[in-house]
A and B are shown apart, each in its own frame.
Chain A
Amino acid sequence: MSLKKLMATSLLLSTLGVSAHAQSLVYCSEGSPEGFDPALYTSGTTFDASSHPIYNRLSEFKVGTTETIPGLAESWEVSEDGMTVTFKLRQSVKFHSNDQFTPTRDFNADDVIFSFDRQGNEENPYYTVSGGTWEYFNSMSMPDLVESIEKVDDYTVVFNLTRPEAPFIANMAMDFASIQSKEYADAMMEAGTPEMMNQAPIGTGPFTFQAYQKDAVIRYLRNDEYWGDPAKVESLIFAITPDASVRYQKVQAGECHVMAYPNPADVQAMQDAEDIVVMQQEGLNVGYLAYNTQVAPFDNANVRKALNMAIDKQAIIDVVFQGSGEIAKNPLPPTMWSYNQDVTDDAYDPEAAMAMLEKEGVTDLSLKIWAMPVQRPYNPNARRMAELMQEDFSEIGVNVEIVSYEWGEYLERSKAEDRDGAVLLGWTGDNGDPDNFLAVLLGCDAVGGSNRAQWCNEEFDALIQEAKVKSSQDERADLYEQAQVIFKDQAPWATIAHSVVFMTMRPEVEGYVVHPLGGHIFNQVGLSQ
């Protein structure tokens, strides 16, 4: 869109006054995007500003669920051996345009191949553009998983895999798999400005990127040529407002319609306020304390269970989460399919815990608890959580020393198989698939890496490996439910909490849905007059 057109739009909006506001949805976001090419980044703030409004993927998560639905691929077919996935692409999908670029063709297979090739092929001219590190592409093991991508015709693409991978379709709905325009990429490379892909994004999504004033405001306009249901508002504005109290003041003053991440301490007042709507849902995350199951006496499941029974989780929810959390009993969050409702949590019972330790012949036990130096939704204050645990454990005669390191050091040191102590950490789901929790955090392959409990249980591992290659979701769910029973019995972690996500908005906001994967999506959101 030309600058003149933009100016005309804004002039029109400003002269329309209040009614113009009704057509612009203002979202008070918590921070600035790092850029607008989602494959380059890993933060939710960046995805909110880039992949959700601007781009589409082959498959999409149905808003409000972790279910995958067709996106830029109308349909897909997985071969019987699970090694080949064929996507049938949607036709007549238009890319956006901007001052530097007007597309001459519709979306096709070349765009799909380019979008992935640039992330994995060192020969691709875009591989190093914008310092490409392609973190998600790598951390989802795409280089090992995808052997090749073939274009059968303009609207058929085949992914050849090195192994069957049930979560593959969900992976294709992740932000890093957003589809870019190859034509735009070529044009920018030719113009000598390839970084524009990241600064002036072109996608196929429901909103077109209009402008970004660093650390202040991001503007989008409705894409009237969108292939799906068009956005309900004419323009979408992200007002970057880092302070949570100020975000709330802006919602109250009508300067924003929706805000994310309210202060937990403010939630009660928001719920009581007449002209404010608060939505809530459990986040797709889990906070845990991982014992080192390779170091005595924590290699004994009964010792671990005894310690779990000594933790007063409700006190943690009240004090650390200030009510914005829910006690976790499984390593999976309750919004995830295959969550095992029947598992019973270890009851808080210090006396029984003490007796259990005595029975195992463990006396004068000392334990280090590692407290993360950063805030995360699954653990808003790890130091305070560690202190509460220190108190709980002292009641059963266990002496606790709290340690902490700088975040990068913490992550690195906590991976060591001979690590001294139990680690407070957590995880937020990427693709809504249980494999993304159970295999990544508790699989035998992840010992010495993201499996901070250093726990390798053959029975558990066999179940999750089997589930990974099955294509029927019901069969997979059954296997994951069994795995959760083994997990609870063996207690490699003390599962602490799932955070509760709150969204605060004005009453005129219609159609907002809290997304379990954590994104803030406004395609379907409207404003009542």
Chain B
Amino acid sequence: MLNYILGRLLTFIPTFIGVTLISFSFIRALPGDPIQVMAGERGVSDERYAELAAQYGFDQPIYVQFWQYLTGVLQGDLGTSFVTKRPVWDEFFALFPATLELSLFAMIFSIVLGLPAGVIAAVNRGKFFDRALMSTALVGYSMPIFWWALLLIIVFSGNLQWTPVSGRIDLLYYFPDPTGFMIIDSLASGQKGAFASAVRHLILPTIVLGTIPLAVIARQTRSAMLEVLGEDYIRTARAKGMSSARINGIHALRNALIPVVTVIGLSVGTLLAGAILTETIFSWPGIGKWMVDSIFRRDYPVVQGGLLLIAVMVMIVNLTVDMLYGVINPKIRKR
């Protein structure tokens, strides 16, 4: 297992270099440059342009700029945002906990509902429950996030007033946020009602962000279960008189989990890269909106550094998923 992990870690190196190169060149391949975007309608004189270009290092040949960036990255310096003038590192870690918190809740929501839904649908194949569930999953998968989020806000926050409209906590609460995870910080603050407020603020964004993974997990679980349920050893188990719950819950589900875990891993990766629409609608201060804004502003250091850090996070998730395969299926571990 250790060799396997080390082997996987080694593959990080070319991926890391690839991502560095791609993020560096892609943002520069886009037309327009940061100085012009920053100057806007007011424009910038040629002398001033040259001065700013020198300040940002744009007057250097492109390979020199890349080398400077790469050496900076290797020393842990991702650069400073052109816009906010703050280190990319600080910006990322100020926002990432919010994205991570929401992603985790969305994944828990989709797994807790999606797995049982898929199993029940498979066991009741072709029956009303199966059809209803799979149709709902299809609707959930196809629903425009923007519309779905606004609909939930109008119904649950506007009409019923059960949940807050947006944000991470009621603005009356103010406390230090050492971890950046509102659930933890609100609990640690000891302020009455803060934790409940943080939970209430998580409900709608979690549902919205979790809807698509929920649909995908439910459908994937169903099809994987159906495949496994047709296997000989399941028939043998039935013939031996084993209870349905034991067959479905332990023997079938465990073997069906491999493709499901793959899907979950991919979903987590996508969520970590930021959920731009969900974050925008719910005023959720995460990295998705931060990255998109930076692309529009041609904020090179943020785009480069942000992509790199997101790539690292996704690589870590993928490694974790690979290790989970081993836990679920010992055959993989031994290979």
A93 to B82, CA, bound (A): 34
> Which residues, 275 to 328 on A, are CB-close (under 8 Å) to B?
none
CA distance A116 to B164 in the complex (A): 45
Residues on the A chain within 8 Å of B68, using CB: none
**Which of B83-91, B216-224, B245-253 makes up part of the contact surface?**
B83-91
CA of A442 to CA of B182 in the docked complex: distance in angstroms? Answer: 53
Say whether A249 faces chain B, with CB atoms less than 8 Å apart: yes
The interface residues of chain B lying within 8 Å CB-to-CB of A26 are 171
Alpha-carbon distance A49/B168, docked complex (angstroms): 20
Q: Which of A2-16 contact B (CB under 8 A)?
A: 3, 6-7, 9-11, 13-15
- CB-contacts of B277-320 with A (<8 A): 280-283, 285-286, 289-290, 298
- The answer to whether A216 touches B285 (Cβ under 8 A) is yes
- B328 within 8 Å of A by Cβ? no
In whole angstroms, what is the CA distance A25 to B138 when docked? 44
Query: In the complex, which residues of chain B have a beta carbon less than 8 angstroms from the beta carbon of A243?
Result: 166, 280-281, 283
Cβ–Cβ contact A198 & B85, under 8 A = yes
Taken together as a complex, chains A and B put the C-alpha atoms of A41 and B42 apart, in Å, by 13
B52 at the interface (CB under 8 A from A): yes
Q: Is the pair A131, B167 in contact by a Cβ cutoff of 8 Å? A: no
| Pick from B42, B82, B150, B154: contact of A131, CB under 8 Å | B82
How far is it, in angstroms, between the C-alpha of A130 and the C-alpha of B32 when the chains are bound? 23
Judge whether B285 and A213 touch: CB under 8 Å: yes
Q: How far is the CB of B57 from chain A (nearest CB, A)?
A: 11
Cα of A409 to Cα of B39 in the assembled complex, Å:
12
Within 8 Å of chain B (Cβ to Cβ): is A138? yes
User: Which listed residue, B165, B173, B174, B289, touches A249 by the CB 8 Å rule?
Assistant: B165
B40 touches A411 (CB 8 A): yes
- Please name the residue on chain B nearest to A131 by beta carbon: B85
The bracket for how many chain B residues form the interface is: 35 or more
**For B44, B95, B161, which residue has the most chain A Cβ atoms within 10 angstroms?**
B44
Q: From B46, which residue of chain A is reached at the shortest CB distance?
A: A449
Interface: A182 (CB within 8 A): no
Residues of A within 8 A of B290 (CB): 215
On whether the beta carbons of B281 and A253 are closer than 8 Å, the reply is: no
Within 8 A of B (CB), among A239-281: 239-243, 245-246, 249-250, 252-253, 255
Most B Cβ at <10 Å: residue of A24, A133, A252: A133
Contact B165 A250 (CB under 8 A): yes
Beyond A135-B42, A237-B171, whether A35 also contacts B32 by CB under 8 A is no
- Decide if A349 is an interface residue (CB 8 Å cutoff): no
Please name the residue on chain A nearest to B153 by beta carbon: A249
What are the residues of chain A within 8 A of B331 when measuring CB–CB?
A: none
Q: Does A522 contact B (CB under 8 A)?
A: no
Measured between C-beta atoms, what is the minimum distance from A102 to chain B in Å? 21
Query: How near does chain B come to A12, taking the closest CB pair, in angstroms?
Result: 10
The answer to whether A412 and B174 have CB atoms under 8 Å apart is no
Within 8 A of A (CB), among B30-67: 30-45, 48, 52, 55-56
A42 located at the interface, meaning its Cβ lies under 8 Å from any Cβ of chain B in the complex: yes
Given the interface pairs A35-B84, A241-B283, the reply to whether A411 lies near B39 with Cβ below 8 Å is: yes
Are A427 and B41 in contact (CB-based, < 8 A)? yes
The number of inter-chain residue pairs (CB within 8 angstroms) is 160
Contacts of A40 in B (CB 8 A): 85
A139 at the interface (CB under 8 A from B): yes
- Do B289 and A215 touch across chains, with their CB atoms under 8 A apart? yes
A425/B154 in contact, CB under 8 A: no
How far, in angstroms, from A198 to B81 measured CA to CA in the complex?
13
**A409 B42 Cβ-Cβ under 8 A:** no
Q: Which one of B42, B158, B192, B285 lies within 8 Å of A253 (CB-CB)?
A: B158
- Complex Cα gap A485–B44 (Å): 30
B54 → chain A closest CB, angstroms = 11
CB distance from B276 to the nearest CB of A (A): 11
Whole-angstrom distance from the CB of B37 to the nearest CB of chain A? 5
Closest CB in chain A relative to B29 CB, distance in Å: 12
Chain A contacts for B98, CB-based, 8 A? 216
Interface check B157, CB cutoff 8 A: yes
B184 to chain A, nearest CB (A): 15
Q: In whole angstroms, what is the CA distance A451 to B173 when docked?
A: 50
Of the listed stretches A150-158, A163-171, A400-408, name the one at the interface; the rest are far from the partner chain.
Answer: A400-408
B86 x A199 contact (CB < 8 A): yes
Nearest Cβ on chain B to A194's Cβ, whole angstroms: 11
- Which residues on the B side are within 8 Å of A253 (C-beta)? 157-158, 161, 164-165
Partner of A239, one of B33, B38, B171, B280: B171
**Within the complex, what minimum Cβ distance (angstroms) separates B283 from chain A?**
4
Whole-angstrom distance from the CB of B170 to the nearest CB of chain A?
8
Asked if B164 and A255 make an inter-chain contact with CB atoms under 8 angstroms apart, the answer reads yes
Given the complex, which residues of B lie within 8 Å of A240, measured CB to CB? 283, 285
A217 partner, pick from B37, B167, B175, B286, beta carbons under 8 A: B167
Bound-state CA distance A6–B56 (Å) is 38
Could you say which of B80, B83, B150, B286 contacts A245, with CB atoms under 8 Å apart? B150
Query: What's the least CB distance linking B52 to chain A, in Å?
Result: 6
Given contacts A243-B283, A427-B41, contact A255 B33 (CB under 8 A): no
How far apart are the CA atoms of A430 and B35 in the complex, in Å? 20
Q: How far is the CA of A202 from the CA of B282 in the complex (A)?
A: 31
Q: Is there a chain B Cβ closer than 8 Å to A34's Cβ?
A: yes
Instruction: Establish whether residues B158 and A408, one from each chain, have CB atoms under 8 Å apart when the complex forms.
Output: no
A378-437 with Cβ < 8 A to chain B: 405-409, 411-412, 415, 425-428
**Is residue B172 contacting chain A, with contact meaning CB distance below 8 A?**
yes
A255 touches B41 (CB 8 A): no
Q: Name the distance in Å between A236's Cβ and chain B's nearest Cβ.
A: 11
Cβ of B330 within 8 Å of any chain A Cβ, yes or no, is no
- The answer to whether A131 and B80 touch (CB under 8 A), given A246-B153, A249-B157, A409-B31, is yes
Q: Which residue of A lies closest to B173 (CB)?
A: A14
Is B177 positioned at the interface, with any CB of A under 8 Å from its CB? Answer: yes
Q: Which of B150, B158, B175 contacts A10 (CB 8 A)?
A: B175
Q: How far is the CA of A9 from the CA of B94 in the complex (A)?
A: 24
Q: Which residue of A133, A250, A405, A412 is within 8 Å of B166 (Cβ)? A: A250
**Would A139 and B30 be within 8 Å (CB), given that A14-B191, A131-B82, A408-B37 are in contact?**
no
Q: A418 vs B80: C-alpha distance in the bound complex, in angstroms?
A: 38
Say which residue of A214, A219, A406 sits within 8 Å of B91 (CB atoms).
A214
List residues of chain A with CB within 8 A of the CB of B86: 35, 195, 199
Whether the Cβ atoms of B165 and A408 lie closer than 8 Å is: no
Q: Are the C-beta atoms of B174 and A219 separated by less than 8 Å?
A: yes
Closest to A376 in B: B41
* Neighbour of B32 across the interface among A3, A211, A241, A407, CB < 8 A: A407
Once the chains bind, are B174 and A133 in contact (CB under 8 Å)? no
Cα separation A434 to B164 with both chains bound (whole Å)? 45
B176 at interface by CB-CB < 8 Å: yes
Question: Could you give 16 example pairs across A and B, Cβ below 8 Å?
Answer: A10-B172, A10-B175, A14-B173, A14-B193, A21-B172, A42-B40, A131-B80, A139-B43, A139-B44, A216-B167, A240-B283, A242-B280, A243-B281, A253-B157, A426-B41, A449-B45
- List the 6 closest pairs (A to B, CB-CB), nearest first: A408-B32, A408-B36, A215-B285, A10-B174, A130-B85, A216-B285
* Given contact pairs A217-B171, A241-B283, A253-B157, a sample of 20 additional A-B residue pairs in the complex whose CB atoms are under 8 Å apart: A13-B172, A14-B192, A26-B171, A135-B42, A195-B85, A199-B86, A219-B174, A240-B283, A243-B166, A243-B283, A246-B153, A246-B282, A250-B165, A252-B158, A407-B37, A408-B31, A408-B32, A408-B33, A428-B41, A450-B41
